[in-house]
Structures are given as C-alpha cells and as structure tokens.
A and B are shown apart, each in its own frame.
Chain A
C-alpha cells in the first residue's frame, strides 16, 4: 500500500521526545518497585504511566519513519515494534529473577539488540535504504518492550518471571497454594497487553497523518490511546492486585483519558478551522 504520507515539520525535536520518553518511562518503571515496600501494590499505576510515556515517544518515532513512505502502511511499524518488543521484554523478566532491579534496563538493552538486527536486515538485506530505518526500529523494539513491561507491572504489580508465572492463592486463611494457570503468563494476559499496546502505538499517527497533521494533536491522541489501554489494563488488574491499588490505577487511567480526550477534541477543532480556512462560530456571551 503506497500512500503519500505528509507529516508536519518543526515542533518538538525527535531527540527531545525520545529523551523524555525513555527517561520518563524508566523512572515510572522503577517507581513500581515501591510495591515491594508498601502493604498493597499502590505503585502499580506507574506501570501504566510508563507505557503512556513510551507510546508518546513511539508515535513520534513512527512519524519519523513513516514519513519516508515505507510502502507497507503505518500499522506494520507498530506490529514489528511489539513483535520484537515481546521477545526482549520476556527475556528481561527472566534476568530480573537473577539480578534484582535490572528488568527495565535489561528490556532496553535486549530491545535495542533485537530492534537493531531487524532494522539492519530491513535496510541492508531487504535494501530499503531509509536513513532512519535502523535507528527507528531499534527505538520501536525498546518502546514495545517498555510498554509491555509497564502494562505487566500495572496488571500484576511487578515483572519478575517467577511472579508472572506463578500466583499464590490463599485457601483457608494461612494456607496457600501456587497456581500456574491463574497467573499472568498462564492466562496469556500478555497477549491482551500485546494487542492493547500495539493498537495504541499504531493508531495515533495513522489517524492524524495527511495534510494538516500537527505534532501536538498527534501526541495528544497518543496519550489518549495510552490511557484508554490503561483503563483496560487497570480493569484486569483487579484480578491480580489488592482492590484499593487496582482502583487507584483505574481512577488515574480514567482521569488521564478524560483530560487527554477533551484536549484532543479541542486541538482537532483548532486544526479543522485552520485547514478549512474558516472561523470558529463564537457563541454570543452575555445575558441577552
């Protein structure tokens, strides 16, 4: 599908967005470790915020890559981001069980390796010859891994491989049993976060591209999609983490979604007026 893609120029430079996205999401992921020191998983919502930071960064990366007319449509970029990201993320959770507090960094490192290989194959072996290909796919794999890790933290309160694979279920008070089926991996909830994350990553630029694309509007839609996915993740988290903690996640997600949704509609109206060269209809004010 070869489509002419027009992307706005100017705005916040991509490197700035990348720095903010990477640092912001890593800080949020590390804040979820606070769960280990609290009596309930109140910090789980930071996982969702980490995913939103990464999705903002990812939307700008897709915009950067797809402005070259890769001929396969915008969603394919989101597909490969999560295809490589899920592999990096799962290996990172395994590293967490060996070296505690290393999973977020490990996800970035593994994502960079898988993404760079995929980007190099696309550019050199497939001869795409796109200057930003290797860099973009490297970023995308890291973003995919971070989003999945963030959603996992929001669902389960942590992201160690053992914690994801096994779940303690209380029977008769102090007695507990280990359930593998009822765990996040056993229930294959990773597939759910995979789809929630990839939809949120693919959609914003695909929806906003074309003439009149504005960076702030596209980014606002990315944040809106991120919070929308976080609502679903927070709903799932009721099955895994303490009720007040899950409720906190849900409230944060709904507040974030409502704010970004209202802002996105405002920006859409602004750009529609600008594109049509029309004037907004001003409602008469006063007590007439």
Chain B
C-alpha cells in the first residue's frame, strides 16, 4: 500500500456540478440560520467571507515541506496547514486584542488581525532566507519562472542543478506576506462576527450580566475561529497538494475551487457555531 502506486494528486479545473451543489449548500445554511437564529444571519455571511479569505490567502503562502528543508525547492520547510495556522493564530491574537477595545471600529479590528498575520509571515520568510543564504550558502531562486515578476531579476543562473530552485525569491516573500494578511483578516473576521453574536445572546441564555459571561463568549468565538481556520487551511492545502512557490506558481491558478470549497465548509461550520445559541 504505497502512496505513489495509489495515485492521487487531484484532477485539474473546476468541477461544475460539485461547485453548484456547494453554492446551493451555502444558500441552505443561510436559510436555516434565517429561520433558526435570525440575528445570526449577518454573522454567517461574515463567517463565509472569512473562510473564503483564508482559502484564497493560503495559496499565496510559499511552502516547500521536506524538499525545501533539503534546499531542493523554494518555500518554507513545513506543511501548508501548519504555516497557515501560525499566521492565522498570530492574526487572531492581534484581532482579538483590538476586538476587546470597544473604541476600535470593525475596520480597525480586521486590520489588526491582518497585520498580525502578515507580520508573522514576514518574520518567518525573513528568518528562512537568513538560514538559506547565510546558513546554507545558497541564493534564493525560483524554479517556476525565468524572471521574478516584480523585480525582473533572472533566476536561471542562480538555480542549482537538479533542484526546482531554493530559498524565498522576492515574489515568494511578497506572496507570503499577502497570504498572511488575507489569512489573518479572514480568521479575525470569523472571530469578530461570532463574538458579536455571542455577546448579544449569551447574557440572556444564562440570565447573567454581559461582563460576567464575556469570557464564555470570547472563549467560544476563539475556539470556533481556530476550528474553522484549521478546516479552511487544510482544505486549501488539499487543493495545493504539496509545494507552492507563491502567486507566480502554476498551482496558484487552482484557487477558484478552493474559494468555493472553503466558503461551503465555512457556511456549514458557521451554521453549527451559530446554532449553539438557538432558542434564546
């Protein structure tokens, strides 16, 4: 029972029937929310948009796994889900801090989350390049394009024989930061929308002051946001199946189906998260 013999890696292009069913599923969850918890409808839309942002953002994150660790492929030497989770949680910390301050508006909260995620990716990419360049003595070069789409630098001359490139070329670095920004914003959006629903409904549910049950609301919104972040990150990773260099990588073109998939998964998970306050 070996992996290669089993043969997978996914087909190309969009599956139109499955995509249509996915969109119908989203509409069904919206309808159920409208009838079960009318106050949660706007929140569910926010959760779906958040999931969609995460799914899209993950395609920007340059990951290489084991080949990158050996210097045979550009990217950060870990799995997509791990790295995206790190960026998402860093974003969530920033966003949760901003959400706790009532003076900050919606836009500030989302921006704080995005900056948290982007910062985490920027630091990770910087440290990866320091290790590659000064530790392993290899220059950053992409194997997927002849010229860097942003700087116009040629890649071919710096690429070692027998490799797909190495390090994090400029475009991958920029892509990673964009991915962190989008992922952090998406995760924070999910957290913020759920927090609004819980802070509004939980006091009535427990018959207690809003301040008393705030820890429950924060904890519930936080753990649901983490759960949905992981679901979206892994589904997007399944779309990439392996390594990706960033926005110039041919695999990046697969993102539309990840957007549909992540939106559908977030809709179902979001429905469950909102149903928890049903009957208030």
Cα-based distance from A86 to B260 in the complex (angstroms): 23
B276 engages A90 (CB within 8 Å)? yes
Closest Cβ neighbor of A85 among chain B residues: B227
B275 engages A91 (CB within 8 Å)? yes
A6 engages B261 (CB within 8 Å)? no
Q: Please count the residue pairs between chain A and chain B whose beta carbons lie under 8 angstroms apart in the complex.
A: 214
Smallest CB separation, B64 vs chain A (Å): 8
Using A125-B22, A126-B257 as known contacts, say yes or no to A180 and B6 having CB atoms under 8 A apart.
Answer: no
Size bin of chain B's contact surface = 35 or more
Cβ-based interface call for B220 (8 A): yes
Chain B 46-87: CB-based contact to A (< 8 A → 1; otherwise 0): 000000000000000001111100000000001111100100
Cβ-based interface call for A73 (8 A): yes
B216 engages A75 (CB within 8 Å)? no
- Chain A: how many interface residues by the 8 Å CB criterion? 63
> Which of A67, A85, A185 has the most C-beta atoms of chain B within 10 angstroms of its own C-beta?
A185
Chain B interface mostly: helix
Which chain A residues in 153-204 approach chain B with CB under 8 Å? 161-162, 165-166, 178, 180-181, 183, 185-188, 190-191, 194
Cβ-based interface call for A248 (8 A): no
A76 engages B18 (CB within 8 Å)? no
Cβ-based interface call for A15 (8 A): no
Using A125-B260, A180-B215 as known contacts, say yes or no to A188 and B22 having CB atoms under 8 A apart.
Answer: no
Smallest CB separation, A155 vs chain B (Å): 14
Chain B 221-246: CB-based contact to A (< 8 A → 1; otherwise 0): 01110111111011101111111000
A-B contacts, 24 of them at CB < 8 A, read A1-B78, A69-B3, A70-B241, A73-B65, A75-B81, A75-B82, A76-B82, A76-B234, A76-B237, A77-B234, A79-B233, A82-B227, A87-B272, A90-B224, A94-B276, A121-B265, A122-B261, A126-B235, A126-B239, A127-B11, A127-B12, A165-B206, A185-B219, A188-B223
